[in-house]
Amino acid sequence: MKTKKKIFAVLFLLSLIQVMTAQTLEKMQWFNEPEEWNIKDKSLSMFVTPQSDYWRISHYGFTVDDAPFYYTTYGGEFEVKVKITGDYKARFDQAGLMLRIDHENYIKAGIEFVDGVYNLSCVVTHKTSDWSVIKTDKPVPYIWIKAVRRIDAVELFYSFDDKNYTLMRNAWMQDNTPVMVGVMAACPDGKGFNVKFEQFKVKHLPDARRLEWLKKNGE
């Protein structure tokens, strides 16, 4: 009995600390590959495709799905974060993380330049898109964005120092469904801009329901 308890305890601890190292950028893939991009020193730089965006129907009456998105795919629960530095110029220039199931279901969160103001921006799309923003009171030279997917929810956070993270939104996303997760940037109105993504990292999180089952059924 004691041996079984010890084995269970070890397995449980291993599942809690299971961590993936920084995602190998070279093994990721493009959706809407931009004309100019490169990977150097574990960071991704690109010139964002002009007149590109992700949006579905609501408010504006159009649907676009043509901005650069560099991603990998995860089937379970995870935490992802990235540092973003951009040379934003035109209205709606934006860069951040995106979690995407398909063209009708995705979440993007990051920094967005609107009418001279830097906004912490989230777009949640399930058939139609919505948009929420948090205005900043000064220019943002760089920012960290983090997303945590747990069961059927995604928590979105921002940080200016990679130490103190503030929740910016909690959104629904279908659980038990593979998700494309990565970095995106869009330039709906402008002629393109340069952006850099650093320290991109995905950390696997053990399935919450499975852990609860193990807790209830362990000896």
Question: Domain for residue 65, yes or no?
Answer: yes
Give the count of domains, the chain.
1
Determine, yes or no, domain membership for 17. no
State which residues form the domain around 91.
22-206
Residue 85 in domain:
yes
Per-residue tokens: 100: 């995407």
Answer whether residue 12 is part of any domain: no
**Is residue 111 in some structural domain?**
yes
pTM, rounded to two decimals: 0.87
On whether residue 215 sits in a domain, the answer given is no
Residue 219 falls inside a structural domain: no
What CATH code is carried by the domain that includes residue 43? Answer: 2.60.120.200
Beta-carbon contacts of 122 under 8 Å, excluding residues fewer than 6 positions away, are 107, 108, 109, 131, 132, 133, 156, 168, 169, 171
DSSP lists the bridge partners of residue 43 as: 40
DSSP readout, 145-201? EEEEEETTEEEEEEESSSSS-EEEEEEE--SSS-EEEEEEEEBSSSS--EEEEEEEE
* CB neighbourhood size of 56 (10 A): 20
13 found inside a domain: no
51-78 residue pLDDT tens: 999 999 999 999 999 999 999 999 999 9
Q: What is the pLDDT along the chain (219 residues), one digit of tens a residue?
A: 555 455 455 445 444 444 444 467 989 999 999 999 999 999 999 999 999 999 999 999 999 999 999 999 999 999 999 999 999 999 999 999 999 999 999 999 999 999 899 999 999 999 999 999 999 988 888 999 999 999 999 999 999 999 999 999 999 999 999 999 999 999 999 999 999 999 999 999 999 999 999 999 985
